[in-house]
Structure 1
Amino acid sequence: MNKAPKVLAFDVFGTVVDWHGSIAAEVARLGLPVDPDAFATAWRQGYRPAMARVRSGELPWTKIDVLKTFQIHSLSENQIQHLNLVWHRLNPWPEAVEGLHQLKSQFTIVTLSNGNMGLLANMAKNAGLPWDLILSAEVFRHYKPDPETYLGVADIFNLSSEEVMLVAAHKDDLEAAHACGLQTAFIERPLEFGKNHLRNDLHVEQFTNYHAKDFLDLARQLGASDPEQH
């Protein structure tokens, strides 16, 4: 039986915030001549190859905001800039804020995202995310799944790797953290890619210590009480 973690490190995009639903809603609000769901999917797909080029050394370190530009010619320059920064305004999943508050009552909660620091801070401010500390790939100059990111969290808090738990909705992220000795918690987010692309990978894995429907479920499993009861 693993001892209780001291720090919970959260993947953010898809785990804490609904990137697909938020982007699709923004596109619909702007009345763009594109399918909102297709637009959200295509935008997200553009990030992975760009991040791989940074990790391989082909590109110097680049903030995620400028890794990809999506050209929309029917908008003004100011509107394009506003849309490009939609990542800063992503909405949290319905239970996320309440669940984070419950978990924060017992654990130190931090981000561990490939998004840059400014983006994560703006997102937290906009969505009311109660982080104790914002950490990202920008701090460690490595993108997940490089070991330097996961082990870097433990180093910052002077903890052993098993005293840190990665909380994520992505199994490749969790598997990499597990390989580094971290505890892991998988969060089901069946709608991450939209209603037209329901996830089919929500089964329990051996490399996860916890498997939860959402943050409230994880809080119950970890024995984190509702802070309003104190």
Structure 2
Amino acid sequence: MITMTSRPQLRVLFFDVFGTCVAQRKPVADALWRAAKEALESDTSLVNSEVRAKATKMSYEQWFEFGGEWNKDVEVFTSDSKAKHGNVDWRAVDKYRFESLHKLLAQLGLIIPHEDASTSGLAVKEGSLWNESHLKELGLVWHRLPPWPDTCRGLDLLNKQFSTVTLSNTYNDLMTNLVAHSSIPFKHVYTSDLFQSFKPNPKVYLGAAEKMGVKPEECALVAAHLDDLKGAKACGFYAIYIERPLEEKTPELREQNIPDMVVKEDEDGFIALAERLGIEVV
């Protein structure tokens, strides 16, 4: 069931992207699992026997959990960056994603780091499950995440009545490429780097509203993350919660009744949202 409170006259729908518009957990696990399988089926001389034995024991479920830990490690990095500098260099975050992958794989004994590893943190010895080129390619999975099944159709419907705009904690080049890669029909692409900060800093939400030429009360944030919605609502935005599988990182916030509207996980995401906002779905 979709629940909502009375809402103002909305003109702009801003969207969180990672987890809300594009899936994260399964695509990352799929990429890791597929790359591991390809490496294990390659020439047996390329992968160290000890590494091969460890990788062979890794189940899909373990790669799924590994992907979650990888994402969590990067989130810790961004939080630390914000605490230390009051801002985040999102291109540095992209670089750290590669370094994090290297670190976590080394902890599992799936790659063998060079003792004199380069400053990029990606130098590996022969016999590793993947070489440096493979690691870089895996790191780019975050640039190619696929949309949820309802995303593109739902946005086509929402575009009939609203301006739809990304509002994501990343840098603009990455988001522009991701949206183009998956043919997601947003009308505008905004990212946190445009506002010299990142969510939930009010500068991002209020800056985005100002850039669109609308008042905060004419805006909604659509997100699968309650902490993001809490930040937007504090700035006067209407808060629309789209439940996505395994995406809520702060479930304790459920007790605060933050969303003004909720689309449940077993509903049809953005398509259900369009219908609830008065758009005919045929």
1:23-79 deviation line (CA, Å, top 9, x unaligned): 001011102635321221111101222112222244864223123321153212221
Aligned to 1:11: 16
Amino acid of the structure 2 residue aligned with 1:223? G
Please state if 1:147 is matched with 2:202.
yes
Please state if 1:176 is matched with 2:205.
no
Length-normalised TM-score, structure 1: 0.88
Once the two structures are TM-superposed, the CA of residue 117 in structure 1 deviates from its matched residue by 1.4
Return the match for 2:270 from 204, 215, 219.
215
Secondary structure of the corresponding residue to residue 79 of structure 1? helix
Please state if 1:23 is matched with 2:28.
yes
Greater gyration radius: 2
1:191-230 deviation line (CA, Å, top 9, x unaligned): 438xxx9x9779696432211131111111101234xx6x
1:137-170 deviation line (CA, Å, top 9, x unaligned): 1111111111111111111012110111000011
Sequence identity, in percent? 33
For these two proteins, the number of residue pairs brought into alignment is 223
Amino acid of the structure 2 residue aligned with 1:47? V
Secondary structure of the corresponding residue to residue 180 of structure 2? helix
2:219–2:237 contact (8 Å) kept in structure 1: yes
Cα distance in 2 between the residues matched to 1:59 and 1:46: 19
Amino acid of the structure 2 residue aligned with 1:17? V
- 1:132-143 paired onto structure 2 within 5 Å: 132-143=187-198
Secondary structure of the corresponding residue to residue 18 of structure 1? coil
Higher mean alpha-carbon deviation, 36-45 vs 66-75, is at 66-75
Output the aligned Cα RMSD.
Answer: 2.4
Aligned to 1:44: 71
- 1:58-137 paired onto structure 2 within 5 Å: 58=85, 61-63=88-90, 64-68=93-97, 69=99, 70-71=101-102, 72=105, 73=111, 74-137=129-192
1:204–1:211 contact (8 Å) kept in structure 2: no
Once the two structures are TM-superposed, the CA of residue 130 in structure 1 deviates from its matched residue by 0.7
Cα distance in 2 between the residues matched to 1:204 and 1:162: 24
Once the two structures are TM-superposed, the CA of residue 6 in structure 1 deviates from its matched residue by 0.8
Secondary structure of the corresponding residue to residue 142 of structure 2? helix
C-alpha change, 1:114 and 1:59, in structure 2 (3 Å) is same
1:159-185 deviation line (CA, Å, top 9, x unaligned): 110111000011111111111100110
Secondary structure of the corresponding residue to residue 189 of structure 2? coil
Gaps of 5+ in 1: none
Amino acid of the structure 2 residue aligned with 1:209? D
2:226–2:253 contact (8 Å) kept in structure 1: no
Secondary structure of the corresponding residue to residue 178 of structure 1? helix
Length-normalised TM-score, structure 2: 0.73
